[in-house]
Amino acid sequence: MKRFLALLACCLTIGFVQAQSRSLPDFADLAEKQGAAVVNISTLQTPRGRSGTSPFPLDESDPAFEFFRRFFPKLPGAAPAPREFENRSLGSGFIIGGDGHILTNAHVIEGADEVIVRLTDKREFKARVIGADKRSDVALIKIEASGLPVVRLGNPDKLRVGEWVVAIGSPFGFDNSVTAGIVSAKGRALPQENYVPFIQTDVAINPGNSGGPLFNLAGEVIGINSQIYSRNGGYMGLSFAIPIDVAMDIQQQLRAGGKVNRGRLGVVIQEVSRELAESLGLSRPQGAIVNAVEADGPAAKAGIEAGDVILRFDGKPINASAELPRLVAATPPGTRSIVQVWRKGKLRDLPVVIGKVADDEPATGKAPRGAKAPALASNRLGLVLSELTAEQRREAAIDAGLLIEEVRAPAARADLQAGDIIVAVISRGTTTEVKTVDQFNRLLATFDKGSAITLLIRRGNLQNFVTIRGGNGH
């Protein structure tokens, strides 16, 4: 009996292992078939130093340098001090055209004097940079070759969270390294990255993988590995890839003109929280609320105002604020589009002519400062307020508002800081401008204790909507 039970347990174990092996994907065929189209990219940079060479084996900053220069002007056997040096960086790329067109990351080839591409058969080519787009981190380069193996492109829209994906690249210079994982999220927005809906994975991506392809199990490229989240520069389980459809749109523009033209609306936007939606009279959190409108920009000319919530752009719904910059950027400058906004409890369709994104980034101003007002007692929100002086109003270019002198609980939990200016209070779609501390406190008294209060805040040249719970009062 014992022998039978042992035999049964052994059979069950073998069956379980076989079942597990059948359920796990096999990446061997994918790596073998697609690996040949993945390349290693190295760059050469030659920063220019000071002209001429020194006959002394000392740096010019050394205190003994002047002594040797004056008394031993021709020191025998002294080696010339180097005035130029070379830097090499490593990255990855993949061939999208048999004629030698290759996609990689813009940061891989940035500042390079020379770009070298090495194929899996050990052939090396000097590549020509067709164009690079820093905002999307996509670059297109070309080598003079023909009959090259190319990747097959997939559709990122069909990608599902939890699906297996594979990366091939050159982490730390180890050519054609294969790593696998799953899709963690789609359409991920990253700080300062408004134009790319990143694919988040847990695939092991390390320095040198940048610019390499991300494959689905069908062997199709669905993204370009671009960024990692890391505290120490190594893999931490969070990797981000540029969807291949976004990258292909970019490379088409780079191939046609060497640069990318993006549409712009001329607004500063913010996510709509649940409390903010309640204050504005929306049925649910959706859209992008406009914090500020650029003077004489496309949005201003179309009649879009601060406080409007953009719900649709050219008929496409805006569920999250991060979706709006991508849609606008993908619209050719000069296009006439329809922007649907929610204003004071009503929907409005506004026609707008899309502008063009400039190459330089807009600067942000500093928070207005003025004479320090005497300390005041805080209100039930925990805010110590004072009325703006004439000088402060001129600096902020506003007619009225209240300066936040100090932030205490419960307001300390919100995104408020000393120096911010309260411009208005918003409730149920109604905006009330504030001019005096007494008026603001009377307005607070109309709110139930503990209810959400939305403030329009001015910080430097930007405006922001902040929602606070009303607290318990005094």
For residue 203, give the amino acid letter: V
Average pLDDT, the chain: 82
Provide the token pair at 300: 């201003």
* Choice among 54, 92, 137, 427 that is catalytic: 137
Give residue 12's pLDDT band: very low, low, confident or very high (50, 70, 90). Answer: low
CA angle 373, 379, 382 (to 5 degrees): 90
Type and span of the H or E element at 299: helix 298-302
* Choice among 54, 184, 210, 279 that is catalytic: 210
Q: How many H helices and E strands in the chain? A: 10, 27
* Contact of 105 with 133, CB cutoff 8 Å: no
Is a pLDDT exceeding 70 seen at residue 263? yes
Taking the mean position of all CA atoms in its chain, how far away is CA 356? 19
* Choice among 101, 107, 230, 249 that is catalytic: 107
Q: For residues 173 and 92, what is the distance between their CA atoms, to the nearest angstrom? A: 9
Is a pLDDT exceeding 50 seen at residue 401? yes
pLDDT (0 to 100) of residue 171? 92
For residue 110, give the amino acid letter: E
* Contact of 386 with 376, CB cutoff 8 Å: yes
Identify the residue with better confidence: 408 or 175. Answer: 175
SS3 156: helix
pLDDT (0 to 100) of residue 42? 93
The pTM of the full predicted model, rounded to 2 decimals, is 0.67
Catalytic residue flag (residue 448) = no
pLDDT tens digits for 119-163?
999 999 999 999 999 989 999 999 999 999 999 999 999 999 999
Averaged pLDDT for residues 231-237: 71
* Contact of 293 with 284, CB cutoff 8 Å: no
Give residue 68's pLDDT band: very low, low, confident or very high (50, 70, 90). Answer: very low
Provide the token pair at 108: 């891989």
Catalytic residue flag (residue 107) = yes
pLDDT (0 to 100) of residue 30? 95
Catalytic residue flag (residue 42) = no
The sign of the dihedral angle between the CA atoms of 450, 460, 309, 156 is negative
